[in-house]
Amino acid sequence: MIRFYILIFCLLASGCSLKGQSFADGILEFRKQYIEGLLAEPRHPISASQVKNISFYAPNPHFCVWATFTETPGSVPFMVPTHSGKQKPFREYGTLSFKLGDTTFTLHAYQMVDLVNDVAHKDDLFIPFKDMTNYETTYGGGRYIDLSVNDVKDGKLLIDFNKCYNPYCAYSDGFSCPIPPRENFLDIEITAGEKVFTH
């Protein structure tokens, strides 16, 4: 899964648009590479025959927003339950405050404790979240966004919900996917990004 996260980080680095491409074209290219990454994953969360069951909301720039980033100094590691019943240690790195419409929301960004001393992954930020579309049009267990500490510029960080994706548990059993903490439940419908996987 680590190799898959690297791919997601590289794709997210393109921001809300890609040079020479429209916003929609950039999102469609992201999704193409995202599916290629799923198929290349050695643990095979999906097969080529299942790609037709992956679906997304139409690209929507409304859900590409700038957030104010606030670091959380001295945060204490805590255990996050997963869908397999196991627990994984994370620490809060900071909070992201952003507006959708006239409402301000907050998401908490985490780092996996097992990776903070890994040179290749020490800057990884993991944002698992739930919203009001879960169990309706999106996976009930929530969705993920991967970012990097290096994405923070002058106290701001770009969140593009069009690039949020399902955990492997949405496709198949046998994976230990972190369950979004209650503090990352958004009281709004995030009608962007990946939809529920239809088996």
**Structural domain boundaries, residue 112:** 2-184
In a domain, 194, yes or no: no
Predicted confidence pLDDT, tens digits, the chain (199 residues): 444 444 444 444 445 754 446 999 999 999 999 999 999 999 999 999 999 999 999 999 999 999 999 999 999 999 999 988 899 999 999 999 999 999 999 999 999 998 777 777 788 999 999 999 999 999 999 999 999 999 999 999 999 999 999 999 999 988 999 999 999 999 999 999 999 999 7
SS3 155: coil
Q: With contact defined as beta carbons under 8 Å apart, do 142 and 129 qualify?
A: yes
Q: With contact defined as beta carbons under 8 Å apart, do 151 and 158 qualify?
A: yes
In a domain, 115, yes or no: yes
Residue 118: other Cβ atoms inside 10 A = 12
Full DSSP string of 38-77: HHH-TT-SS-GGGGGG--BPPP-GGGEEEEEEEE-TTPPP
Tally the domains of the chain.
1
Q: Which helix (H) or strand (E) holds 106?
A: strand 103-112
In a domain, 125, yes or no: yes
In a domain, 136, yes or no: yes
In a domain, 138, yes or no: yes
In a domain, 33, yes or no: yes
In a domain, 195, yes or no: no
pLDDT at 1: 45
In a domain, 87, yes or no: yes
Q: With contact defined as beta carbons under 8 Å apart, do 110 and 126 qualify?
A: yes
Return the DSSP state at 169: G
